Every structure is written in C-alpha cells, then in structure tokens.
Amino acid sequence: MSRISLIELDDSNLPPPTPEIEQERKVAMFDLLEENSFTLPKRDEREVPAGPYHVGLSIRERRLVFDIKTEDDQPAAQFLLSLGPFRQVVKDYFAICKSYFDAVKNLPPAQIETIDMARRGIHNEGARVLIERLEGKAEVDNDTARRLFTLICVLHFGG
C-alpha cells in the first residue's frame, strides 16, 4: 500500500487563506486522498515501514517539512526540503492563479482557457521541482506531485 491515507497541513501560524486558496486546498486534499502514489525507498539498507502513510506538511525555519507516519502513528520518515527551489515557481503560480480567478469573473471562455493552460503549465513545473527534490526520500507519481505542490503553495501563502 504505497499511498497516503491521511494528509495534514500545519497552517496554524499562517494568516487565514482567501476563499480561492481555501478552495484550492480542499480540492487538492480530496483529490490526493482519492488517488495517489507515495513510496518511501530503502535508504542505507534500513527497512522502511510499509504504507499507507499519514503525511504532515509544515514550514519550519524556512524549510518544508514532511513528517511521515504509519497508519498506527509510528514514525516512518521525516525530511526537510529547502524552499529556495520552490520560490519562483510558487510566485509564478500565485500570479497566474490571481489572473485566472480574475478572468473567471470578467473574461470570455476562450481567454479563461488560455490562462488556465498557463496555470497548468506552471503547476506541472512545480510538480517537476517537487519530484526532483524528493529524489531518494520519497517516490511520487506526477499527479501526486501536482497535488502536493498545491498544498505547498497553500503553506507558502502565509509564508
């Protein structure tokens, strides 16, 4: 069972999200729990607890923290990722999301679709960066990385 069965965001120190950000979060969490692929690879010949996993995401001291536990709440792994490689793509993603949310209110469908295509492209770039940063720590498929990237953006929102 190489999957995430529970995802928790520690956003306790962040300002309240906008309604749009909250909607992005809810959709990403729902989609992630419906279908995902998440595996902890063997490291240094140590056994890795089997999934499904409970994953906690937080930002501490300018680092993205993945706190992974088994379903019976036993520690499975914890790793910290530098936020530096994510900064530009998160900034770009928020800018295009703002354009998209504004467009939905005012622009014709063809223009909304163009902005949405750009948003998906930036989202894919964020997923690619996440997959690279997780190398050797966790293995995820592209859809899982996209959904996790959305949640990382939610944590960045107040950061």
Can you give the residue ranges of every domain in the chain?
4-157
- Count of positions (residues) in the chain: 159
Q: What angle do CA 150, 151, 154 make, to 5 degrees?
A: 95
Q: In DSSP terms, which residues pair with 65 in a beta bridge?
A: 58, 80
Residue found by looking up tokens 């997780």 in the block: 134
Q: Along the 159 residues of the chain, how does pLDDT read in single tens digits? A: 689 999 999 988 777 878 888 888 899 999 999 999 999 998 777 788 888 999 999 998 889 999 999 999 999 999 999 999 999 999 998 888 888 888 888 889 888 899 989 989 999 999 999 999 999 999 999 999 999 999 998 887 654
Cα separation, 80 vs 100, in Å, equals 31
Q: What is the largest CA-CA distance in the chain?
A: 56
pLDDT value of residue 76: 93
